[in-house]
């Protein structure tokens, strides 16, 4: 086993552990800190793949902006540090939806063409931003997963707005 493989395995294990901890801890601030560790693990994996642009984006945009913004939003909200997640009685429905989503992702991973567009476009460690954009938007490459990710982000945004409105209604 090479050093790079060992670093990858350790980083992947830490990232998976941090992801599980992020969704299982009770305090929102602790979940945000685990999220920062997940983002850092993904940045290390991008570094192992020699994708320097993606490493910089991961660190500056996700860790430096989004995660820190979440931490500040939690800390500036009244009593947010002492608040815990509210447990819902609909956890079984949530678990079923999560399992269905995981099955769909695994099905897509194992039946999808292996993405020849991205690997052929970025051969030799080329770091051309235009080539990355073209590979992501190529119908033969990663267009559908790219659009699915945007739909998932939109669903998360709508869910966040719903939770915020529901929580605001409980305060009155």
Q: Give residue-wise pLDDT tens across range 85-134.
A: 555 667 778 788 888 888 887 887 778 665 544 445 445 554 566 667 77
Whether the model clears a pTM of 0.85, i.e. scores above it, the answer is: no
pLDDT higher at 8 or 27: 8
pLDDT at 141 > cutoff 60: yes
Ranking 16-20, 82-86, 100-104 by mean pLDDT, the lowest is 82-86
Q: How far is CA 122 from CA 20, 51, 56, 81, 111, in A?
A: 32, 10, 18, 45, 22
Would you state the pLDDT for residue 118? Answer: 45
pLDDT higher at 105 or 6: 6
> How many CA atoms does the CB half-sphere of 78 hold within 13 Å?
3
CB pairs under 8 A, 24+ apart, for 69-75? 70/32, 70/35, 71/29, 71/32, 71/33, 71/36, 74/28, 74/29, 74/32, 75/29
Q: Which fold has domain 1-85?
A: 1.20.120
User: Residue 13's pLDDT band (boundaries 50, 70, 90)?
Assistant: very high
> Mean pLDDT, to the nearest integer, of 53-61?
84
Within the chain, all domains assigned CATH 1.20.120.1200 are found at 1-85
Would you state the pLDDT for residue 78? Answer: 55
> Mean pLDDT, to the nearest integer, of 59-78?
77
pLDDT at 137 > cutoff 90: no
| Total length of the chain | 172
> Comparing C-alpha atoms, which of 7, 3, 2 is closest to residue 47?
7
Structure tokens at 86: 């509210």
pLDDT higher at 134 or 154: 154
CA-CA distance, 58 to 50, in Å (whole number)?
13
pLDDT at 59 > cutoff 90: no
CA-CA distance, 172 to 59, in Å (whole number)?
39
Residue 67 CB coordination number (10 Å): 19
């Amino acid at each position: 086993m090479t050093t790079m493989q060992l670093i990858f395995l350790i980083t992947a294990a830490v990232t998976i552990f941090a992801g599980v901890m992020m969704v299982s801890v009770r305090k929102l601030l602790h979940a945000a800190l685990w999220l920062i560790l997940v983002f850092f693990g993904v940045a290390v994996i991008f570094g192992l793949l020699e994708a320097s642009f993606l490493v910089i984006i991961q660190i500056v945009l996700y860790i430096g902006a989004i995660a820190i913004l979440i931490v500040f939003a939690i800390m500036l909200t009244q009593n947010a540090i002492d608040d815990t997640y509210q447990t819902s009685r609909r956890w079984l429905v949530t678990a079923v939806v999560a399992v269905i989503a995981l099955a769909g992702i695994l099905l897509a991973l194992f039946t999808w063409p292996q993405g020849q567009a991205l690997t052929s476009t970025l051969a030799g460690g080329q770091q051309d931003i235009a080539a990355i954009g073209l590979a992501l938007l190529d119908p033969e490459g990663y267009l559908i997963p790219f659009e699915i990710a945007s739909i998932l982000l939109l669903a998360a945004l709508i869910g966040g707005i719903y939770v915020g409105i529901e929580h605001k209604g409980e305060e009155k």
